[in-house]
A = this chain, B = another copy of it.
Amino acid sequence: MPAAKNRKPLHLNAFLMSTGHHEASWRLPESPAEAGSDIEHYKNLARIAERGRLDSLFLADSPVLMGDPGRRPAAKLEPTVLLTALAGATERIGLIATASTSYNEPYNLARRFASLDHVSGGRAGWNIVTTAGADAARNFGLDDTPLHHERYRRAAEFVEVSTKLWDSWADDAVVADKESGVHALAERVRAIGHRGEFFRVDGPLNVQRPPQGYPLLVQAGSSEDGKDFAARYAEAVFTAQQTLEEGIAFYRDVKARAVALGRDPDGIKILPGIVPVIGDTEAEARELDAELDRLIVPEYAKRQLALRLKIAPDDLDLDAELPEDIPTEDEIEGAKSRYTLIVELARRERLTIRQLIGRLGGGRGHRTFAGTAEQVADTIEHWYDSGAADGFNIMPAVLPSGLEVFVDRVVPILQERGLFRTEYTGSTLREHYGLPRPANQLFDTADQAGRADRADRAAPAAAVPHTDLAAAGAR
């Protein structure tokens, strides 16, 4: 084991998903039957992750029933609600919820994330997704998903509106001067008057600026549009990378794009996913992995794979390789980079469909690593030192057991090597990731000391709509 080095610690996120990331995990004897709806199950997971001093918890999401509910746990809880509940069960760990820019309104979503940030004392993060798929569209009055480019344009404007809404209250707006009867300084609360391609939003928000300024902005798409979006807006990026070389290339690519936009490369953290399957020996870990794969229902998994590849299930033979004649990435609308990753994995390793299903069943395209705790720590360290990662998105195959083993056996090794914190040093999610609290783009915060002077000059809140207070009551 190498001696503890004096280096910057890495970051670890726990990606929570029902009974685990392996699609057959629910069939293990210990898995709770209705884990997706079970708040006690999730509270337990959150407390385990916090015990390990992990930076954050993360929940994926799409506003549609995903997959065949007959074959795996498809029902779940809405992430902003679930993470709010987990905020009350924990004290320090960050809480990252996925939410769609295609099927929400900025005013509503900005309020919810601001509220989660207040309720959790500055622990909220937003994984910004554009939501591919006609099935989701059909829950919102549309026949099909908007095109990829258009979804990303809307996402960009959505984020711009949201940050303006979070900035519509200066941090020092509320004075609550009981003597004079002035609650907030009128000139420190401001309408945003946004007029754009997708949104018209007057503001201001009806929630005070969040403790973190903005929730941590996270992104997880790795298409060209996705990488450009990440470079511009994201502060953390979840990504699926199968090989170290691909991981390094992705890391350099995204950081370079951020630098080209004038950003500090250290202001955007790259977190590849890893599905650690941990045993006392490597053989034991591989056997656990194989045991899980044996629980996959192959015909169901084949049907899901065919759907993703936009081909007929009958065109796939479980014991043959991927056919040559499949669509190109350009023909796929959404989840583009994941599509390419799967095809390249199959071709590179010349996997049969049955083998490919096993590899995907464990992590849906994320990298599965079966080995001892020491080996898992080694591969994390190796990727980190090689410049492929600022940290990792930990996706246990089985929950809670896989998270427990990771926290109890891998984390101590990383701590011993000086690679991971032994105690939380900050209290907000941004502090855990070493990211700054954003300045307010609508108010000059550097000049706050001069605000009393400015208050005399300012017009009385002309920009703020004077809605009838009394109407705030029950209606």
Q: Contacts A178-B29, A183-B73, A472-B364 given: A204-B65 contact, CB under 8 Å?
A: yes
Taking a contact as CB atoms closer than 8 A, the residue among B23, B115, B116, B205 that contacts A469 in the complex is B23
Interface CB pairs A-B, < 8 A, 18:
A26-B176, A34-B176, A63-B111, A65-B206, A65-B464, A66-B468, A67-B469, A69-B186, A70-B189, A74-B183, A81-B116, A133-B468, A133-B471, A138-B202, A139-B202, A220-B474, A307-B466, A365-B473
A437 at the interface (CB under 8 A from B): no
Q: Does A68 contact B15, Cβ atoms closer than 8 Å?
A: no
- Kindly list 19 other residue pairs between chains A and B, CB separation below 8 angstroms, not including A67-B470, A335-B475: A31-B178, A58-B474, A60-B472, A60-B474, A62-B475, A65-B206, A67-B467, A69-B186, A69-B189, A75-B169, A75-B208, A77-B118, A80-B112, A81-B112, A85-B88, A138-B465, A273-B474, A303-B466, A364-B472
Q: Does A469 contact B88, Cβ atoms closer than 8 Å?
A: no
A71 at the interface (CB under 8 A from B): yes
Q: Chain A contact residues (Cβ within 8 angstroms of B): what range?
A: 35 or more
Distance from A247 Cβ to chain B, minimum over Cβ atoms (Å): 15
Whole-angstrom distance between the alpha carbons of A58 and B473 in the complex? Answer: 11
Q: Does B69 contact A184, Cβ atoms closer than 8 Å?
A: yes
Q: Does A360 contact B470, Cβ atoms closer than 8 Å?
A: yes
Q: Which residues of B contact A473 (CB under 8 A)?
A: 60, 240, 338, 364-366
Q: Does A115 contact B77, Cβ atoms closer than 8 Å?
A: yes
A308 at the interface (CB under 8 A from B): yes
Distance from A98 Cβ to chain B, minimum over Cβ atoms (Å): 7
Q: Which residues of B contact A205 (CB under 8 A)?
A: 65
Q: Does B201 contact A70, Cβ atoms closer than 8 Å?
A: no
Contact with B along A193-230 (1 / 0, CB 8 A): 00000011111111110000000000011000000000
Q: Does B183 contact A81, Cβ atoms closer than 8 Å?
A: no
Ordered nearest first, which 5 A-B pairs have the shortest CB separation?
A67-B469, A88-B88, A33-B176, A81-B115, A220-B474
Q: Contacts A65-B465, A88-B85, A472-B62 given: A76-B206 contact, CB under 8 Å?
A: yes
Q: Does B207 contact A467, Cβ atoms closer than 8 Å?
A: no
Contact with B along A434-475 (1 / 0, CB 8 A): 000000000000000000000000001100111111111111
Contact with B along A29-58 (1 / 0, CB 8 A): 101011011010000000000000000001
